[in-house]
C-alpha cells in the first residue's frame, strides 16, 4: 500500500481535475471497522483480555474519556486506494466461530468501502477468546464495584 504521508496516520487521495483533496486518518478507518465488527451477532468484544482489562482501568481514571475504546483490537494500514485491517475478537460461547468471522469480514469490508471509498484488500481476524456464560463481564464487574 502506498502512503502519501509518513508517520502521521493520515492518508490523502485526490483525483485529477478534482476541486481538492480528501484526507482520511487511520483512526477513522479503525473506528469504522471496530463499529462494524461489534455490530455482528456473536461478537462479544474486540481486543484481548489483557487489552480489555487495561482499557477498563484507563477508563476509570478521571479525564480519560467516556465509554469503551472503539479502536481496541483493531489495526489498519490505509493507502490512497486500499486498506488492510487486522481484528482481534472475542466471541460468545455456542456460536459458529467461522460464521461469525465471515459475517464480521463482510460487515467490515462493506462499511469501510462504503464510507471511505478505499478498497479493502484483506481483513485478518484473530479469535483470542470465547465468552463463557458463567464468566462475569468487565462491564458488569465495574458497575458492581462503583
Question: Residue 96: which CATH number?
Answer: 3.30.70.1350
Domain of residue 78 covers 21-134
DSSP result, 62-96: TTS-SS--TTTTEEEEE-SSEEEEEEEEEEETTS-
What is the structure's pLDDT at 10? 59
The pLDDT of residue 57 is: 46
pLDDT of residue 25: 92
What pLDDT shows up at residue 22? Answer: 83
CA distance 85 to 105: 10
Distance, in Å, from the CA atom of 26 to the CA atom of 83, rounded to the nearest integer, reads: 9
Which residue from 95, 84, 96 is spatially nearest to 124, judged by alpha carbons? 84
Looking at the 3D structure of the chain, how many domains does it have?
Answer: 1
Of the candidates 46, 130, 57, 37, the one whose C-alpha atom is nearest the C-alpha of residue 92 is 130
User: Does residue 12 fall inside a structural domain?
Assistant: no
The three cell numbers of residue 64 are 480519560
pLDDT in tens, the chain (146 residues): 444 434 446 555 555 557 888 889 999 999 999 999 999 999 999 998 654 444 444 445 455 554 458 999 999 999 889 999 999 999 999 999 999 999 999 999 999 999 999 999 999 999 999 999 988 765 555 445 55
Residue 2 within any structural domain of the chain:
no
pLDDT at 19: 85
Bridge partners for 89 per DSSP: 46, 127
CA distance 33 to 107: 8
Residue 4 domain-assigned (yes or no): no
Q: Dig out the grid coordinates for 104 from the structure.
A: 464480521
The reported pLDDT for the residue numbered 23 is: 82
Amino acid at each position: 500500500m502506498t502512503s502519501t504521508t509518513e508517520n502521521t496516520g493520515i492518508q490523502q487521495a485526490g483525483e485529477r481535475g478534482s476541486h481538492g483533496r480528501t484526507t482520511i486518518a487511520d483512526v477513522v478507518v479503525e473506528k469504522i471497522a471496530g463499529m462494524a465488527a461489534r455490530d455482528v451477532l456473536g461478537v462479544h468484544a474486540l481486543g484481548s483480555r489483557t487489552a480489555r482489562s487495561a482499557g477498563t482501568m484507563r477508563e476509570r481514571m478521571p479525564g480519560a474519556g467516556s465509554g469503551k475504546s472503539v479502536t481496541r483490537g483493531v489495526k489498519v494500514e490505509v493507502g490512497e486506494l486500499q486498506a488492510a485491517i487486522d481484528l482481534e475478537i472475542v466471541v460468545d460461547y455456542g456460536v459458529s466461530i467461522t460464521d461469525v468471522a465471515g459475517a464480521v469480514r463482510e460487515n467490515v469490508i462493506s462499511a469501510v468501502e462504503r464510507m471511505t471509498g478505499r478498497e479493502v484488500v484483506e481483513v485478518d481476524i484473530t479469535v483470542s477468546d470465547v465468552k463463557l456464560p458463567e464468566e462475569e463481564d468487565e462491564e458488569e464487574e465495574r458497575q458492581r464495584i462503583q
